[in-house]
Every structure is written in C-alpha cells, then in structure tokens.
Amino acid sequence: MGGNLDRKLAFLFRVFLYLSISAMIAGKIIHRFQSRVGDVTVNAGVYLIILCPLIGLLTVMFDSYRSGKRKLFLLSLAVSSLILLIMTVFLAAGRT
C-alpha cells in the first residue's frame, strides 16, 4: 500500500476528477436554460481537471518540506516554478 503522500495525492486526484466531471455535466444541462451560467460551469470543470496535477505538485512540495525530504522538495519546487514560468510566458504572449 502507498505511503501518506501517495494516499493524499490519490484522494486529491479522485476528488478533483469527480468535481470536474460533475461540473461539466451540470454545465451542459444548465446551458440549455441559462447559457452564461452553463458556460461558466463547463469551463470551471475544464479548469478543475487542468489544475489538478498542478495542485498535486504543490501538495508534494508542501508535504516534502514538512517531512524534511529536501531533494523531493527542491524537485517539486523546480517543476512548479517551471510550469508557472511557462504559464506566464504564454499568458503574456496571448495578451500581446
């Protein structure tokens, strides 16, 4: 069986997946009556599923910091920073 961090991540992934799928289904239904609210709900579902692995990375980062796993902390910090940098560059490029 997995360790504490493994179980935390497994729980996080499952919760986000169910939330995202529920939001997508609800959004599709709501869209028939209230298109604006439906749009927002479906988009929220999509963003939930996109952000889930990234929140997982932050969980690894905080957990490894608290448990003193220095190498894992530095690795997760580096990958999170890299993704944040990529997001910033593409967000900025989209605005210009």
Cα 54 to Cα 28: distance, rounded to the nearest angstrom: 26
Q: Find the binder of another protein among 14, 34, 62, 67 (CB under 8 A).
A: 14
- What is the footprint of another protein within residues 37-76 (CB under 8 A)? 39, 42-43, 45-46, 49-54, 56-57, 60, 71-72, 75-76
| Helix (H) or strand (E) segment spanning residue 8 | helix 4-31
Tokens 């210009």 label which residue? Answer: 96
DSSP state of 32: T
Q: Give Cβ neighbours of residue 32 (< 8 Å, ≥ 6 apart).
A: 38
Contact residues for another protein (CB under 8 A)?
Answer: 1-3, 5-7, 9-11, 13-14, 16-17, 20-21, 24-25, 27-28, 31, 39, 42-43, 45-46, 49-54, 56-57, 60, 71-72, 75-76, 78-79, 82-83, 86-87, 90-91, 93-94
